[in-house]
Structure formats: structure tokens, C-alpha cells
């Protein structure tokens, strides 16, 4: 049993971490912090936790830390936690990009660049061995998780033209966080559907970094995110030109073999495509695909819950690896459907 802290726990990812860790058999939450809610009880901020947790937002002694802070705020506190001998899973973008200059181009100046090379990128299906020995894990973004899992089998088997990649993703409104923002207000989102961050979304270099790692060379992607009028969920549709003709059934079999031992990646049979409703409230990524002989392209559709496999669920999966526990501990609940 280890004592765990969630730093910056007043947002949606913080709530999901609390919900998951309350059911984890090897964890006790002993510290929850929030600058804006300091001194308040956790259940007063999250009424769904009434009678389940009696902590207030205030620090105590801990062994393992999740930082659910905004970008820049995380890099200010993570070095101190590591110096104190703690293990950290950081849910911000502060340690995801391997090139500090790229990070500073898309975000802001980095105050602890010496830790960037050390941080393991926390996508277990691709970087599991590095995560196991890490003391700092950079939890991936939600869009990059959905895209990397959708394209990894094709890239590793050199079946697509990397210059042809187009990614079209949609996210529920919780992807914008819990703070009040005009663009995510109910009347702004309800009955609407829009693209945003076109050609400039901050997850673009993270997507390209992971796909480049898989390919062994730089990859450039056309990435367009959209905002869906739903609470949670991401659906990414990835398009690429095949380097050789392949039938849909052949590619489905390829994906099934590639992810055969991955408990949180599920491949739909030929003729079926995933829906965000199929993964809601779970740590699963569902993938379906179609080979289009008319255009010579393959279309891969992946879905995740942006707050679970796209954030808090994957963070717990990473903690399990770092602690040497079963990777699925506390995460194997089925999705909520309908």
C-alpha cells in the first residue's frame, strides 16, 4: 500500500483520478491539493464523493504524486517532488515533448529542461519498458493517444505513405477542462459542431513525435480537432495511402495480432466501427478500420474516453507499471453503456 497525492485536483482529470484511486487496492489517497479550493473539503467541490472521502485540499506525507496542473504550473513543482524522492505522473504537457525548443515554440519557456530527457512518455502500449523504470512519466495528451494507437500497426509494418497522413479528431467538451470558458459554455456547445485550433493545435507536435518514433524518421501530419456537443469522448479518423493493396480483413487481422496482448486496446471485426459510447467511463481504446480500394487509402477510426484513457485512466495505468503492479489494477471496469 502506498500513499498518493493528487496535486491540482479540482478539475475533471483530478476527479477521475480520485474516483479510480478510491477503488484501487494498493493505494490510499492521503493528499489532495488545489490552490483555488484550499481549506475546502473535497466532497464540497465534488458532491459525487460525499461520504467516500473526508479530506480537505491540504498537503500531507505521500509516496507517489499525480500532478493534474495546467501547463507551466506543473514544471514549477515537479522538480521539488523528484528531489524529495517521490515518483510523479504529470498530466500536463510540460514533459511530453522531447525537444525543449519545440515545446517552447508551442507552449512557453521551460523552467526545468534538464528533466525533459529523463521523463518517460506514458503511452504503455508503445513505451512500456521505459515507463517501468521511470520516476517521472509524462502522461500523453488525449488526441495523441487516440492517433498513435490507431496508426502504430500500419507504421511499424510500413504499410502507409507517411506523407499522406490526415487526422480528423473530435472531442467532448470536458476536453477543455472545468474552468469557465466562453467556447465551452452550454449554449456555445449544445446543438453545435465546429473545428478549432486548425493548423495550430498544441497536440500536433506530440502526435508527430510519437509517429516519428514508430517510423524511425520525422513525420508531418495534417491534424484538425473538432468540438462535439457531448460531455466526454474522442473519436479520431485517420486517413493514409497504402503502400500496397490490402483488404480490410487482412488489416483487421494485422491489428488484432499487433494488439493481441494489450488489455486496453480492442479491435472491432470487419464491417464494424467504434462509437465513443462504447468506451465511456473506461480505460479502453476501440479501433475499427476500412480499406478503400477505390482510393487506395485506409481509414482507421479510434475512440477513447478523453478523461480516462486520454488522461486519468492512463495515469493510473502508468502508476501501476512504475510500481511493478498488474497494469490493469483498478482499471478493468467495463464502459458505461448506454
Residue 148: in which H helix or E strand, if any?
helix 142-156
Cis check for the bond before 338: say yes or no (omega within 30 of 0): yes
The answer to whether residues 12 and 310 touch, using CB atoms and an 8 Å cutoff, is no
Clarify whether 187 is annotated catalytic. Answer: no
- The strand order across the sheet containing 120-121 reads 27-33, 2-7, 64-67, 87-90, 136-138, 120-121
Cα radius of gyration rounded to whole Å, the chain: 19
CA 37 to chain centre: 25
**Distances 117 to 105, 153, 202, 212, 226 between C-alpha atoms, Å:** 17, 26, 20, 17, 31
The answer to whether residues 225 and 170 touch, using CB atoms and an 8 Å cutoff, is yes
Burial of residue 199 (number of CB atoms within 10 Å: 0-12, 13-18, 19+): exposed
Using DSSP's 3-state secondary structure scheme, residue 208 falls into helix
Phi, psi of 133 (to 5 degrees): -100, 10
- Of the residues 142, 187, 238, 285, only one is catalytic, namely 142
CB neighbour list of residue 197: distance below 8 Å, 6 or more residues apart: 225
Taking the C-alpha atoms of residue 299 and residue 314, their distance in angstroms, rounded to an integer, is 25
The per-residue DSSP string of 104-144 comes to HHHS---S-GGGTTTPEE--HHHHHHHHHT-SEEEPPPHHH
Catalytic residues: 142
Amino acid at each position: 500500500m502506498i500513499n498518493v497525492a493528487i496535486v491540482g485536483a479540482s478539475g475533471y482529470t483530478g476527479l477521475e483520478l480520485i474516483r479510480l484511486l478510491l477503488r484501487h487496492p494498493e493505494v490510499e489517497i492521503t493528499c489532495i491539493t488545489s490552490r483555488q479550493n484550499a481549506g475546502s473539503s473535497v466532497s464540497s467541490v465534488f458532491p459525487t464523493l460525499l461520504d467516500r472521502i473526508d479530506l480537505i485540499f491540504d498537503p500531507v506525507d505521500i509516496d507517489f504524486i499525480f500532478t493534474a496542473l495546467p501547463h507551466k504550473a506543473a514544471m514549477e513543482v515537479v522538480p521539488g517532488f523528484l528531489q524529495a524522492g517521490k515518483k510523479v505522473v504529470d498530466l500536463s504537457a510540460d514533459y511530453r515533448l522531447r525537444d525543449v525548443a519545440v515545446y517552447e515554440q508551442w507552449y512557453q519557456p521551460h523552467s526545468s529542461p534538464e528533466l525533459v530527457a529523463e521523463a518517460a512518455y506514458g503511452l504503455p502500449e508503445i513505451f512500456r519498458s521505459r515507463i517501468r523504470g521511470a520516476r517521472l512519466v509524462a502522461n500523453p495528451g488525449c488526441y495523441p493517444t487516440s492517433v498513435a494507437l490507431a496508426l502504430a500497426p500500419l507504421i511499424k509494418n510500413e504499410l502507409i505513405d507517411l506523407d499522406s497522413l490526415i487526422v480528423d479528431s473530435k472531442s467532448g467538451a470536458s476536453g477543455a477542462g472545468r474552468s469557465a470558458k466562453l467556447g465551452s459554455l452550454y449554449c456555445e456547445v449544445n446543438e453545435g459542431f465546429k473545428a478549432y485550433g486548425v493548423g495550430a493545435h498544441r497536440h500536433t507536435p506530440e502526435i508527430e513525435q510519437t509517429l516519428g518514433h514508430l517510423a524511425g524518421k520525422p513525420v508531418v501530419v495534417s491534424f484538425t480537432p473538432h468540438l462535439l456537443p457531448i460531455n466526454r469522448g474522442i473519436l479520431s479518423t485517420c486517413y493514409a495511402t497504402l503502400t500496397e493493396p490490402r483488404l480490410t480483413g487482412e488489416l483487421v487481422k494485422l491489428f488484432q495480432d499487433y494488439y493481441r496482448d494489450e488489455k486496453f486496446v480492442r479491435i472491432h471485426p470487419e464491417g464494424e466501427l467504434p462509437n465513443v459510447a462504447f468506451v465511456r467511463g473506461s480505460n479502453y481504446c476501440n479501433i475499427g478500420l476500412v480499406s478503400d480500394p477505390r482510393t487506395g487509402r485506409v481509414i482507421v477510426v479510434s475512440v477513447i474516453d478523453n478523461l480516462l484513457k486520454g488522461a486519468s485512466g492512463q495515469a493510473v495505468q502508468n502508476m501501476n507499471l512504475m510500481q511493478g503492479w498488474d497494469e490493469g489494477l483498478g482499471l478493468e471496469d467495463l464502459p458505461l453503456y448506454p
